Amino acid sequence: MTPPEAAAPPPPQGGAPGGPAKPAPRRPLGKTPRRPLHGVLLLDKPLGWTSNDALQKCKGLLRAEKGGHTGTLDPLATGLLPLCFGAATKFSQASLDADKRYQATLRLGQRTSTGDGEGQIVEERAVCVDRAAVEAACARFAGDIEQLPPMHSALKHEGRALYAYARAGIEVERAPRHVTIHAIDILQWHDAELVLDVHCSKGTYIRTLAEDIGVALGCGAHLGALQRTAAGALRLDQAITIEALTALDEDARVALLRPADALLSTWPEVQLPDDEAGRFLCGLRRRVALNDSPFVRVYAQAPRAFLGTAHITAGELIADRLLSPIEVQDSP
C-alpha cells in the first residue's frame, strides 16, 4: 500500500545525498540472508519448546531480520503464542497487556515441588470431593484476587529469574500480585483429572491457581497441562503449528503474517484524511472532535493504512508509536 505524504526518506546508509549507497557487508558463506518483514504470526507453540526456541525457529523459516514474542509460555505449556516481526514489535505491549484464556488440566490429590508435572511429588491425598465442592472452590477464586508468584517462574529478583533461586534451593520473599480471574468454567472432570477454562488478566499464574484450588478442596493439586487458547481477540484456532509452517513454501509462510494492528483490534479507531495523516505520521499533534481516550489506533483514509497508536487529550490526537513511511508501505 502507498503511505500518505510525509517527510522525505533519509539518504542511503553510508552515502551522501544523491551519492552511491554504502556497499552491503559480506555475509558468511552458508548463512541464510535475512530481510525486513512486518507482521504478526499466530503460532501454536508445541510442548517442550521454550517461547524463544519457537521464535527463533519461525524467524529462520521466514528469514526475518527482527522478531519478538508477546509473553512467555513455559516449555510445559502449549498453545497460542503471537510472534511479532519488524514494525509489529512496536505494538507487542498491547498483546502482553491483554486478557488471556487458558485450558488448564489439574491433577487432584498430588502436590509437587514445582506446582506442575515437572516436579517431584511431595504429598498425595485421597480425592473425596463432589461437583458442588469443585464449583465452590473455583468460584472462590473468581474476581479480583491476590496471588503469590511461584518460585518456579521467570519473574526477576535482583536480576535473576526466580526459578534460578528455586533450583539452588533458595526461597525468596515475594510480594503478592493483584490479578483478575474473569471466569473459571469446568470443562471436564474424571476421577483425579479436572479440566478448567480460565479467563484472566495478564500476570495470572495458572499453576498457582491450580495449587490454590487444590488447597481449597483439601486434597492438594498441581498443574498437569496448560494450553493458552486466546490472547485478547486473538484465538488459538487462528494459529499454525511449526510442522505446518515448515511444510509451506516461503511465499505461503509470509502470506500468514497478519498486519501489526491485529494486536489492537479492540482499541478505538481514528481515521484521518490524507493531509492530516501525513502530518500525524511526522509526529505532529492533530486537532480532533473526539472524546479523550488513553489509547487509539490511527489510520489514513484513502488508501486505508495503519499509521500507529496515539491517545486523545483535550481534543488533541497525540502520537505514541508510529510506523515509518516505508513500514506503512511494506505492511501486509
In the CATH hierarchy, which fold is given to the domain comprising 100-231? Pseudouridine synthase (3.30.2350)
**Rounded to an integer, what distance in angstroms lies between the CA atom of residue 323 and that of residue 84?**
14
Catalytic-labelled residue, pool 44, 53, 74, 251: 74
Decide: 70 and 95 in contact? Cβ < 8 Å. Answer: yes
User: What b/e sequence results for 98-113 when a residue is b if at least 16 CB atoms lie within 10 Å of its CB, and e otherwise?
Assistant: bbbbbbbbbbbbbbbe
State how far the Cα of 235 lies from the Cα of 58, in Å rounded to an integer: 19
Containing H/E element for 124? strand 121-124
Q: Provide the whole-model pTM.
A: 0.86
Residues of the chain with pLDDT under 50: 1-2, 5-23
- pLDDT tens, 84-142? 999 999 999 999 999 999 999 999 999 999 999 988 999 999 999 999 999 999 999 99
Three-class SS of residue 209? helix
- Which residues of the chain are in CATH 2.30.130.10 domains? 267-330
Q: What is the pLDDT of residue 5?
A: 47
Q: What type of residue is 159?
A: G
Question: CATH 3.30.2350.10: does it fit domain 39-97+234-261?
Answer: yes
Q: What one-character DSSP code corresponds to residue 24? A: P
Residue intervals of the chain classified under CATH 3.30.2350.10 are: 39-97+234-261, 100-231
Number of Cβ within 10 Å of residue 222's Cβ equals 25
> How confident is the model at residue 23, as a pLDDT?
47
pLDDT of residue 22: 46
Pick the CATH number of 267-330 from 2.60.40.10, 3.30.420.240, 3.30.200.190, 2.30.130.10: 2.30.130.10
Distances (CA, A) of 170 to 52, 158, 173: 26, 14, 10
CA distance 262 to 265: 6
Note the pLDDT of residue 164. 82
Helices (H) and strands (E) in the chain, counts: 9, 19
Instruction: Examine the residue annotation and report whether 74 is marked as an active-site residue of this protein.
Output: yes
Q: What is the pLDDT of residue 168?
A: 81
Q: What are phi and psi of 316, to 5 degrees?
A: -115, 135
- CB-based burial label for 288 (10 Å; 0-12, 13-18, 19+): middle
The reply to whether omega before 10 is within 30° of 0 (cis) is: no
Phi, psi dihedral angles at 17 (to 5 degrees): -55, 125
Segments in 124-283 forming alpha helices (H): 131-140, 162-167, 206-217, 242-247, 250-255, 274-281
What pLDDT score does 28 carry? Answer: 55
Q: 243: which 3 cell numbers?
A: 510442522
- Phi and psi angles of residue 313, each rounded to the nearest 5 degrees, phi first: -135, 125
Condensed to tens digits (0 to 9), the pLDDT of residues 45-96 reads: 999 999 999 999 999 999 999 999 988 898 999 999 999 999 999 999 999 9
SS3 content of the chain, % helix, strand, coil (to 5): 25, 35, 40
